[in-house]
């Protein structure tokens, strides 16, 4: 088994896995409940690149984590001590500050499933990712805040023998064009987890320089070559819709996102389908571009836009990073065109390369949002691959430093049998 082996649980469409792949890690398998999200992961990271080796005992399809734990417990036990890394973050909707924060949201209990999985597999390292609200306790009936789930998780992991460190990170500091704040927790069986964050911040300038990127990337730098004014063609995978075509590359970020796609000017970008706005919606979008301050969330209470029914809409600023990309494409209005973002534009802001193709429905609405995971949701729920690659690099350097200091060694394998990491 590779010394850089990992399992991705709550994998979504594969943003975290893609980043680890680019950092030289090898996936054993991934666990994702959504059929559509798994289809996207499978197409890009199994069928196309064969990134995952995939254990034969696990069918190559979508799975609920509790089903895997129950049905394949004996197989998981055989992996104990042999897996380098387990990554993943349970669904965050119950914790999200952008949502309604429900203490009793059934999805919150998936943190316990995460713990159980860790207790069985016993990886040498773990990385846990979740929203900022994960660090804030729910209020009781007396409006007193309880213990944050992050502290509960930390205590449970420590009981399993892990040293654990967690920090809030603004991912816009790592070359991703959005102010996405996420709680990152790192656990190690042997060593100092705080080393991970020291390395992560220390190495980001060199990493971004190699990519040709600034530390801060604006929305215009990210999606300026995807304007509707460049032209449209019929959407290849959806009837009666128009998709945008590529314009000229205007920034190093766009060049990076289009890497491997040669001579694409005038061709349709994947998942770059434009919404069919009603005349009323077009009017409101035009009005928001004219009246609303950029990057300020506008609500019906502001009385700036007539007949605005959404809880809030934000007009993007071409010269600055976007707010956190969500599962709802109509949360934003484009910085210069009276429309919402396409899936591809949201994916660009999440740092997915254009070669990464999304599967399933484009969007959904109403009650279906609770059960379906269309492309827009897959993108919004993902860990940005560019940041995930830096996670993978930091972990590799951490392993190298630990081996040199004899601080971090493989569980059940003598130190002298371990090879030094070669970059």
Residues 179 and 259 in one domain: no
* Distances from the Cα of 162 to the Cα of 122, 125, 206, 209, 405, angstroms: 10, 9, 30, 34, 19
Residues 159 and 231 in one domain: no
What pLDDT, on a 0 to 100 scale, did the predictor assign at position 215? 87
Residues 187 and 256 in one domain: no
Residues 311 and 374 in one domain: yes
With respect to residue 109, please indicate whether it lies within any of the assigned structural domains. yes
Residues 225 and 203 in one domain: no
With respect to residue 50, please indicate whether it lies within any of the assigned structural domains. yes
Span 115-161, pLDDT tens digits: 999 999 999 999 999 988 877 764 555 445 667 888 889 999 999 99
State the pTM of this model: 0.89
With respect to residue 423, please indicate whether it lies within any of the assigned structural domains. no
Do 181 and 140 form a contact (C-beta atoms < 8 A)?
no
What pLDDT, on a 0 to 100 scale, did the predictor assign at position 420? 31
Span 17-28, pLDDT tens digits: 999 999 999 999
What pLDDT, on a 0 to 100 scale, did the predictor assign at position 143? 47
Position 423 pLDDT exceeds 90: no
With respect to residue 24, please indicate whether it lies within any of the assigned structural domains. yes
Residues 265 and 177 in one domain: no
Residues 396 and 362 in one domain: no
With respect to residue 133, please indicate whether it lies within any of the assigned structural domains. yes
Q: How many domains does the chain have?
A: 2
Residues 370 and 387 in one domain: no
Lowest model confidence (mean pLDDT) among 105-109, 340-344, 365-369: 105-109
Residues 115 and 226 in one domain: no
CATH of the domain at 292: 3.90.120
Lowest model confidence (mean pLDDT) among 25-39, 253-267, 377-391, 394-408: 394-408
With respect to residue 408, please indicate whether it lies within any of the assigned structural domains. yes
Residues 73 and 204 in one domain: yes
Q: Domain span at residue 400? A: 5-213+383-417
Residues 209 and 254 in one domain: no
With respect to residue 422, please indicate whether it lies within any of the assigned structural domains. no
CATH of the domain at 21: 3.40.50.150
Residues 327 and 224 in one domain: yes
Lowest model confidence (mean pLDDT) among 117-121, 200-204, 298-302, 412-416: 412-416
């Amino acid at each position: 088994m590779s010394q850089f082996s990992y399992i991705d649980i709550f994998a979504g469409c594969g943003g975290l896995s893609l980043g680890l792949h680019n950092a030289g890690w090898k996936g054993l398998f991934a666990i994702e409940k959504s059929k559509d999200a798994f289809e996207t992961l499978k197409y890009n990271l199994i069928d196309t690149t064969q990134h995952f080796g995939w254990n034969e005992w696990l069918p190559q399809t979508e799975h609920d984590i509790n089903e895997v734990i129950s049905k394949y417990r004996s197989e998981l036990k055989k992996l104990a001590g042999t897996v380098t890394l387990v990554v993943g973050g349970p669904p965050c909707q119950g914790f999200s500050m952008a949502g309604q924060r429900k203490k009793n949201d059934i999805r919150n209990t998936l943190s316990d499933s995460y713990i159980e999985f860790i207790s069985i597999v016993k990886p040498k390292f773990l990385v846990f990712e979740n929203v900022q609200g994960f660090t804030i306790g729910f209020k009781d009936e007396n409006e007193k805040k309880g213990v944050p789930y992050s502290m509960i998780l930390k205590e449970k992991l420590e009981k399993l023998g892990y040293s654990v460190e967690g920090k809030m990170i603004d991912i816009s500091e790592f070359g991703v064009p959005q102010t996405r704040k996420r709680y990152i927790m790192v656990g190690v069986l042997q060593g100092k987890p705080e080393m991970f964050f020291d390395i992560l911040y220390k190495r980001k300038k060199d990493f971004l320089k190699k990519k040709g990127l600034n530390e801060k990337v604006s929305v215009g730098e990210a999606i300026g070559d995807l304007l509707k004014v460049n032209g449209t063609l019929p959407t290849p995978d959806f009837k009666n819709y128009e998709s945008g075509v590529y314009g000229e590359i205007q920034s190093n970020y766009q060049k990076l996102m289009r890497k491997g796609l040669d001579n694409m000017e005038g061709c349709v970008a994947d998942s770059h389908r434009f919404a069919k706005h009603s005349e009323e919606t077009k009017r409101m979008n035009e009005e928001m571009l004219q009246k609303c301050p950029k990057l300020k969330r506008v609500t019906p209470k502001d009385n700036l836009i007539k007949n605005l029914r959404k809880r809030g809409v934000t007009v993007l600023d071409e010269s600055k990073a976007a707010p956190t990309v969500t599962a709802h494409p109509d949360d934003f209005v484009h910085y210069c065109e009276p429309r919402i973002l396409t899936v591809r534009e949201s994916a660009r802001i999440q740092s997915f390369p254009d070669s990464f193709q999304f599967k399933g429905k484009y969007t959904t609405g109403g009650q279906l949002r609770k059960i379906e995971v269309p492309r827009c949701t897959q993108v919004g729920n993902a860990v940005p691959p560019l940041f995930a690659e830096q996670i993978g690099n930091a972990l590799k350097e951490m392993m190298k430093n630990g081996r040199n200091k004899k601080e971090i060694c493989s569980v059940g394998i003598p130190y002298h049998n371990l090879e030094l990491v070669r970059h």
